[in-house]
Amino acid sequence: MMLSLLFQSPLEFIVVFGGLILAIGLHEAAHCYMADYLGDPTPRSQGRLTLNPLAHLDPLGTIAILLTNFGWGKASPFDPYNLKDPKRDTAIIALAGPVSNILVAVLLSILFHSLSNLSILGILSFLIQLNINLAIFNLIPVPPLDGSKILGLFLSHETALKYQRNNNILFLIPLLLVAPMIVSPISSFILRFLLP
């Protein structure tokens, strides 16, 4: 548990907790920047067009991280009626979050291969794995995860709307039981290329 780590190793807690907060913040910021780029002013009007992770933290999600090692950020706001092609653009906005985490993992991997300090390599290795796992988990096509919005691109308009209405965080509880079986094999495959 994250709280026990705080007392056992404060430095490790700062790295782990800080890494999670930064990864989630960047993920949500990417959604907001993409929505703004595609013509929706909603994130900008709500002060979410920023890389400051504090703007993207959900209080309950942050507490959950401390108590269970799993949490979530504040959902990125966007209005599909402001988009030129709501179905396509919603999928692009959803994809921006996981892509941002994958890009961070790749950049950290490049840095990893250019350093030799074991302590720093350990931190970078953790952050790379964290970002890859976060990206893969969010691509699972179950509401309210990003994958469900990307899946909507391949469904009829009515089916996509009906599917998205099942946007309940409680759906994630049973998913968490099987998520490691989904995420781990894909993550391991990708990490073979990013980490020695």
Band of residue 160 on the pLDDT scale cut at 50, 70, 90 = confident
Q: Quick: pLDDT tens for 102-128.
A: 999 999 999 999 998 988 899 999 999
Rounded-to-integer distance, Cα 132 and Cα 188, Å: 9
Q: Quick: pLDDT tens for 60-70.
A: 889 888 887 77
Which of 28, 36, 89, 146 is catalytic? The answer is: 28
Overall number of domains in the chain: 1
> Is residue 177's pLDDT more than 90?
no
Rounded-to-integer distance, Cα 115 and Cα 79, Å: 44
Question: Is 158 one of the annotated active-site residues of the chain?
Answer: no
- Range of the structural domain that residue 142 is part of: 2-194
In the predicted model, what is the mean pLDDT of residues 34-57? 97
> Is residue 92's pLDDT more than 90?
yes
Q: Residue 155 class from Cβ within 10 Å (0-12 exposed, 13-18 middle, 19+ buried)?
A: middle
Angle, helices 172-194 vs 118-138, to 10°: value is: 130
Please give the torsion angle defined by the CA atoms of residues 119, 121, 122 and 127, in that order, rounded to the nearest 10 degrees.
Answer: 130
